[in-house]
Amino acid sequence: MSSAPNAAAGAPRRARLHHRSLAAAGLWLPPLAFLLVFYAWPLTRILVLSFARQEAGAPLWEVLFSARTLHVLGFTVGQAALSTLLTLALGLPGAYLLSHYDFRGKGLFRALTGVPFVMPTLVVAAAFNALLGPRGWLNLGLMSLLHLD
């Protein structure tokens, strides 16, 4: 038996696959061109212009390493670390309880914990503001309860 007929039959298939891969690559070209033109090129141009002259980068370094910037950066890193630790302290035991135990209301709790991941960020922020903000429901309720009007 010879493998010549199989090789001949495979050639049109390879040509179709090659045509499909070219078509798939063609679908990636418009978004890639958009990102290059409207994101990468302006960003690169700004960086090149920032350091084109020797004295051009000096204000950048002065601002980056000023006491105020370093303080803000330290505060931000500290807040992120504290937020991470608090999230882990609450999330890991909660995940363990949800995965290992059955209790009444477990389905509702699982559904409520997924809501922030499904809803857009701005909607969640607006909901938190409506609940906890200066004129939020919780704040107004506590103010009237404690007679802090």
**What does the chain look like in DSSP terms, one character per residue?**
--SHHHHHHHHHHHHHHHHHHHHHHHHHHHHHHHHIIIIIHHHHHHHHHHTSSTTTTHHHHHHHTSHHHHHHHHHHHHHHHHHHHHHHHHHHHHHHHHHH---TTHHHHHHHHHHHHHS-HHHHHHHHHHHHSTT-HHHHHHHHHTT--
Model pLDDT, residue 119: 80
φ/ψ of residue 144, rounded to 5? -75, -35
* Residue 136 is assigned to a structural domain of this protein: no
Cα–Cα distance for residue pair 118/110, rounded to 1 Å: 13
**What is the reported pTM?**
0.43
Domain count, the chain: 1
pLDDT of residue 123: 86
pLDDT at 6: 54
- With a CB cutoff of 8 Å and minimum separation 6, the contacts of 49 are 56
pLDDT of amino acid 70: 95
User: Is 74 among the domain residues?
Assistant: yes
Q: Are 58 and 51 in contact (CB under 8 A)?
A: no
pLDDT at 63: 76
Check residue 71 and give its pLDDT.
96
Cα dihedral 109, 114, 120, 126, rounded to 10, equals 20
Domain membership of residue 83 (yes or no) is yes
- Per-residue confidence (pLDDT) for residue 138, from 0 to 100: 87
How far is it, in rounded angstroms, from Cα 7 to Cα 33? 38
pLDDT of residue 65: 85
Q: Is residue 75 part of a domain?
A: yes
- With respect to residue 94, please indicate whether it lies within any of the assigned structural domains: yes
Q: What is the pLDDT of residue 9?
A: 55
| Domain contains 1 | no
Query: What single letter denotes the amino acid at residue 80?
Result: A
pLDDT tens across the length of the chain (149 residues)? 555 555 555 566 666 666 677 777 788 888 999 999 999 999 999 888 777 666 666 677 777 788 999 999 999 999 999 999 999 999 999 899 889 999 999 999 888 888 878 888 888 888 888 988 888 888 888 888 888 87
pLDDT of amino acid 135: 87
Please identify which residue in the block is written with the tokens 């630790």: 85
Examine residue 112 and state whether it is found in any structural domain, yes or no. Answer: no
- Domain span at residue 79 reads 58-103
